[in-house]
Amino acid sequence: MTALLFLWMLFLGTVYGGYLGVLVYRLPRGFNLWTSTSMCPKCGSTLRWLDNLPIIGYVLVGGRCRFCRVPISRQYLFLELASAATIAALFLKFRFFMDEPKTLDSAVMLTLWYGFYLLILLVIVCIQRGNRQPPLGFLLIAVIIGVLGTIIPEHWLLPQCLPEVWHTSQRFYLVTLIAVSTVYSIGIVLLICCLSHHLWDAAPFHTDLIVMLISFLFFGWLAALFLLIIGGVIRFSYRGEFPLFSIIVLIGSLVWVLAVC
């Protein structure tokens, strides 16, 4: 059953990755997030649904637009792979590589919790790399979820509150976990669609500040302090645009969640 759920998480990871590509492209340009049809940014042709499939779509068209043959940004493929790898690594970490490995349901919820944080950071990094800033509304969603996560008792989020039948029926257990992770994902997507456009663009400094706030909410003060120090030192000892503060926080967070948590 763990293997099945692992495959499911891997699948979710690639789907998330596809969505991240959409966010990175549309958010800083103020494009509508509600429309699901993707277009080639060069020739404006509507992509076929097959081309939108994560990873497979990219391979099928050989990394080029089916219509005008202009190369598709490698960033889409990178995001799909990075997202899948992140989700898979988190799941394996919480299920197996801990002093006290988590139960399957806890592992799924923790993967979604930290996965959301890391993938949001990944979107911010990719947007900033293009010398743009994410809308403030998008950043605030992460803050809201971080606050909710710290005040809502864990047993409300974890499906442990579900009836006893859980412990008797393996199939019910599996289906519930798949359903919960799907509902959670769709909820986040709807939240992002609703809120992202309604607030002004953040300045780079504001983005960094909110990134710090988010890492504090998700990891606690110790990790936030660690990230602030390494981020600050590297950021200010390096002359020029790179490395961005958010890149350092992303890498630092990844190390923290996989090695320390």
Contacts with Zn ion, residue ranges (CB under 5 A): 40, 42-43, 65, 67-68
Decide whether 67 or 78 has the Cβ nearer to Zn ion: 67
- Least distance to Zn ion from the beta carbon of 68, Å? 3
- Tell me the C-alpha distance between 28 and 96, whole Å: 38
Decide whether 43 or 152 has the Cβ nearer to Zn ion: 43
Cβ–Cβ contacts within 10 Å for residue 73, how many? 14
- Least distance to Zn ion from the beta carbon of 25, Å? 14
Decide whether 40 or 53 has the Cβ nearer to Zn ion: 40
- Least distance to Zn ion from the beta carbon of 131, Å? 24
Strand, helix or coil for residue 246: helix
Decide whether 31 or 96 has the Cβ nearer to Zn ion: 31
Strand, helix or coil for residue 135: strand
Could you give the residue ranges of the DSSP H alpha helices within the chain? 2-26, 56-60, 74-95, 104-129, 136-151, 154-157, 165-168, 170-195, 204-219, 221-237, 245-255
Q: How far is CA 48 from CA 28, 36, 77, 185, in A?
A: 24, 11, 17, 24
- Least distance to Zn ion from the beta carbon of 257, Å? 38
Decide whether 35 or 103 has the Cβ nearer to Zn ion: 35
- Tell me the C-alpha distance between 110 and 95, whole Å: 10
- Least distance to Zn ion from the beta carbon of 39, Å? 8
Decide whether 46 or 169 has the Cβ nearer to Zn ion: 46
Nearest to 197 by CA among 144, 140, 125: 140
- Least distance to Zn ion from the beta carbon of 155, Å? 50
